[in-house]
């Protein structure tokens, strides 16, 4: 029996302790072996991952029928993982994928979850990223950009939000997928971005993170989506960046991985959603610093003057942090060029999270011996976690590069240097050289 007065643990607390024990047991094994054996244990099992991924592209078992409306997502998760591993698919399979995604494209724009299915912003994002990841004339020219723009406008709500589909829900995820697709296809314009920044700002919570919709709880996936969208529409200065940074940084737990929300369990997919957000904030460090200065001097002025508000003398609608830009002046850059320009120049500060510890969690606790990645010890592998664990691993490796995308120092790679993956564009989560190809293709002469 429990002793009288002993604290009772919730089911989540009990599960948290079990996860911690499994993770620590794994780490203990690593600490008890020789450096040579440690290097072997920390190896990225590329061949096994490729077997798992290519098999999934060709044939899925009957258990995957529940994902029938997510088939472009399966393409994206697998293709992005293969690209990160610096591998490609054979030409016949590539053509088959392009043809399949073409049949998912709605006659009125956007992509559905399968041929004949309703156009949806989530599967539109997945399909476009898949085609960009494949690259080449056939894949990129298969996207009907004129109808895509019309589809995105139909999904736009006067509040600034987007609907996921006709008469569907509105949330920050919809804003990001719409803005991301429009930006990478070079069709982002003032009409599409009108009021989007105000809507996303309304979703930033008192904690600092961003919720899916106003009044909801801050969440790692929505925080990445909101932050990335605000950068792409050049309104990131509206957010409370120091508070956002605090919220994301404190989501890295004792297991070394990230949780998606406060008091939730660690999950390998947040290696990208939270790690990627911190990589974006790393490149926004000058703006974070400026907002901290404004906040500090504003409070100091308030204390000296005795006024109720440090901003009481501002005209209505003005903000003390107005005009801040992500580490460099972006105010004169066209909307569609922000994704390209955001990566220019050196990073002003080092990593904002423990990148080596996160690599340890990904390689030891999420990597599966038979290939693929999983959420946490005790879970099963899947293509979703494989994609976002590998994307998060790339973020960890390149966050120490002085110039974005340049080879990182050996000290930034856990395990053998052969673990190094391809760099990604952190705003879109596509491999960097595929992004540059698409940017050139869609901004060149029509």
Which of the following is catalytic: 106, 171, 321, 375?
375
Q: Is 376 an active-site residue?
A: no
Does 219 participate in catalysis according to the annotation?
yes
State yes or no: is 379 an active-site residue: no
How many angstroms separate the CA atoms of 397 and 412, rounded?
6
Calculate ∠ Cα 188-194-195, nearest 5°: 135
SS3 call for 185: coil
Task: Measure the CA–CA gap between 85 and 275, rounded to whole angstroms.
Answer: 19
From the list 321, 381, 382, 387, the catalytic residue is: 382
Q: How far is CA 321 from the centre of its chain?
A: 25
Which of 156, 283, 385, 439 is catalytic? The answer is 385
Which residues have C-beta within 8 Å of that of residue 401, sequence separation ≥ 6?
A: 347, 407, 408, 412, 423
Active-site residue (options: 46, 138, 264, 328) = 264
Q: How far is CA 324 from the centre of its chain?
A: 23
Q: How open is the CA angle 317-155-442, to the nearest 5 degrees?
A: 90
- The verdict on whether 375 is a catalytic residue reads yes
Sequence-separated contacts (24+) of 403-408 with Cβ below 8 Å = 403/346, 403/347, 404/283, 404/343, 404/347, 405/343, 405/432
264 catalytic per annotation: yes
- CA–CA dist 336, 343 (Å, integer): 14
- Please tell me which residue in 176, 203, 256, 267 is annotated as part of the active site: 267
**From 125, 176, 222, 270, the catalytic residue:** 270
315 catalytic, yes or no? no
- Which of 410, 302, 284, 424 shows the shortest CA–CA distance to 356? 410
User: Active-site residue among 269, 387, 389, 399?
Assistant: 269
List, in sequence order, the alpha helices (H) in 136-219. Answer: 137-141, 145-155, 172-184, 190-193, 196-201
Of residues 145, 261, 381, 425, which has the active-site annotation?
Answer: 261
Cα gap 276→424, rounded to integer Å: 10
Q: Give the β-pairing of 381-382 and 373-374.
A: antiparallel
Q: From the candidates 219, 381, 425, 439, which is the catalytic residue? A: 219
Q: Is 385 a catalytic residue?
A: yes
Q: How many CB atoms lie within 10 A of CB 402?
A: 10
Alpha-carbon distance of 338 to 221, in angstroms, equals 22
Count, residues in the chain: 446
CA 24-30-35 angle, 5° bins: 155
Q: Which residues does the annotation mark as catalytic?
A: 219, 261, 264, 267, 269-270, 375, 382, 385
């Amino acid at each position: 029996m429990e002793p009288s007065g002993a604290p009772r643990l919730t089911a989540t607390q009990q599960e948290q302790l079990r996860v911690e024990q499994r993770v620590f047991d794994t780490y203990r094994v690593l600490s008890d072996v020789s450096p040579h054996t440690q290097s072997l244990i920390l190896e990225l099992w590329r061949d096994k991952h490729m077997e798992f991924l290519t098999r999934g592209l060709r044939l899925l078992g009957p258990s995957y029928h529940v994902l029938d409306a997510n088939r472009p997502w399966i393409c994206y998760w697998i293709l992005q993982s293969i690209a990160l591993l610096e591998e490609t698919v054979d030409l016949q399979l590539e053509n088959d994928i392009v043809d399949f995604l073409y049949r998912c494209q709605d006659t009125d724009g956007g992509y559905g979850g399968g041929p004949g299915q309703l156009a949806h912003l989530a599967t539109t994002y997945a399909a476009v990223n898949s085609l960009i990841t494949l690259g080449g004339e056939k894949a990129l020219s298969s996207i009907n950009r004129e109808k895509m723009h019309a589809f995105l406008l139909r999904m736009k709500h006067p509040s600034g939000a987007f609907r996921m589909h006709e008469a569907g829900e509105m949330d920050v995820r919809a804003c990001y997928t719409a803005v991301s697709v429009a930006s990478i296809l070079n069709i982002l314009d003032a009409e599409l971005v009108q009021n989007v920044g105000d809507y996303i700002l309304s979703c930033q919570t008192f904690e600092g993170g961003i919720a899916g919709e106003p009044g909801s709880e801050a969440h790692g996936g929505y925080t990445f989506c909101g932050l990335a969208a605000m950068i792409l529409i050049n309104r990131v200065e509206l957010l409370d960046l120091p508070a956002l940074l605090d919220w994301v940084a404190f989501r890295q737990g004792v297991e070394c991985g990230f949780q998606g929300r406060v008091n939730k369990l660690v999950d390998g997919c947040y290696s990208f959603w939270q790690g990627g957000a911190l990589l974006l904030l790393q490149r926004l460090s000058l703006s974070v610093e400026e907002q901290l200065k404004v906040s500090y001097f504003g409070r100091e002025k308030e204390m000296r003057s005795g006024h109720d508000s440090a901003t009481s003398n501002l005209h209505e609608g003005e903000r003390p942090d107005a005009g801040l830009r992500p580490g460099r002046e972006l105010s004169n850059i066209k909307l569609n060029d922000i994704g390209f320009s955001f990566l220019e120049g050196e990073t002003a500060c080092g990593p904002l999270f423990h990148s080596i510890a996160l690599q340890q969690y990904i390689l030891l606790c999420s990597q599966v011996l038979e290939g693929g990645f999983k959420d946490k010890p005790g879970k099963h592998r899947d293509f979703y976690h494989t994609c976002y664990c590998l994307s998060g691993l790339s973020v960890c490796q390149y966050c120490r590069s002085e110039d974005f995308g340049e080879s990182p120092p050996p000290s930034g790679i856990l395990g053998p240097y052969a673990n190094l993956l391809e760099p990604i564009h952190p705003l879109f989560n596509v491999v960097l050289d595929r992004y540059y190809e698409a940017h050139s293709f869609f901004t060149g002469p029509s």
